[in-house]
């Protein structure tokens, strides 16, 4: 995703980054659990982090997948004793900078540039969430899958001779978690796409051969990459 040089991430990085404060985490490490008291916000320096919720019946929903140079702020700001709304766990080996919640909020409140950059970040995050809801509500489970594949291309896509490689290992179950569907429904839809030679799947990575097909099926509006992603 293209990021402005004048961003809240960069401002926080410049102000708080110290080599001895960086956490090096293995894939599968838990940063925080849903309903934990908030101690930190995080800068994702490298690696991949999933944010999600687990339904009371055990169904896992992945709401976002963040890659390097992202900020993780998943709570109600400026509240007394806030709690995380989602869980956060690493999908790959990652380097993360924790910033104390109180220090983060004080920095935002006292630096006008930081406040402006943070508001811009929040507005973009709001638009992303609205667009995801629209896609899932208007297009159903199959269309929701197509939308997620397009978003994955925008966030992790690499052009190859065969099409757009989504350079992020994903199991069918993880893809189902991203689309709020079941693995069985997603597997059937993916089989149909493979039979139409729209996608291929090798070593847990998807290649989108016919992105135009997916976009036409969901009436894609070709939104900017910073709006249309899984982050």
Separation between Cα atoms, residue 217 and residue 229, nearest integer Å: 18
pLDDT for res 6: 65
pTM over 0.75: yes
Q: Which homologous superfamily is 8-110 in?
A: Jelly Rolls (2.60.120.10)
Nearest to 41 by CA among 6, 1, 11: 11
Whole-angstrom CA distances from 183 to 144, 145, 173, 187, 190 are: 13, 11, 5, 6, 10
- Could you tell me the residue ranges of all domains in the chain? 8-110, 138-217
Fold of the 138-217 domain: Arc Repressor Mutant, subunit A (1.10.10)
Helices (H) and strands (E) in the chain, counts: 6, 12
Which residues in the chain land under pLDDT 70? 1-6
pLDDT for 97 equals 97
The pLDDT tens digits for 174-197 are 888 888 778 888 899 999 999 999
pLDDT at 171: 87
Would you state the pLDDT for residue 5? 46
């Amino acid at each position: 995703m293209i990021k402005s040089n004048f961003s809240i991430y960069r401002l926080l990085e410049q102000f708080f980054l110290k080599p001895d404060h960086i956490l090096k985490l293995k894939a599968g490490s838990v940063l925080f659990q849903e309903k934990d008291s908030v101690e930190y916000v995080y800068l994702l320096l490298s690696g991949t982090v999933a944010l999600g919720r687990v339904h009371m019946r055990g169904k896992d929903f992945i709401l976002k997948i963040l890659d390097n140079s992202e900020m993780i702020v998943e709570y109600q700001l400026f509240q007394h004793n806030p709690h995380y709304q989602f869980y956060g766990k690493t999908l790959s080996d990652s380097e993360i900078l924790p910033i104390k919640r109180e220090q983060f909020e004080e920095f935002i409140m006292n630096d006008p540039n930081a406040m402006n950059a943070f508001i811009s970040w929040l507005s973009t995050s709001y638009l992303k969430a609205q667009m995801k809801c629209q896609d899932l509500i208007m297009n159903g489970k199959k269309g929701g899958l197509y939308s997620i594949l397009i978003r994955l291309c925008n966030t992790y896509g690499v052009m190859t001779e065969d099409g757009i490689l989504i350079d992020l290992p994903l199991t069918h179950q993880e893809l189902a978690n991203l689309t709020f569907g079941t693995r069985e429904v997603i597997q059937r839809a993916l089989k149909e796409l493979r039979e139409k030679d729209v996608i291929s799947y090798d070593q847990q990575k998807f290649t989108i051969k016919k992105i135009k097909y997916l976009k036409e099926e969901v009436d894609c509006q070709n939104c900017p990459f910073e709006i249309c992603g899984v982050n």
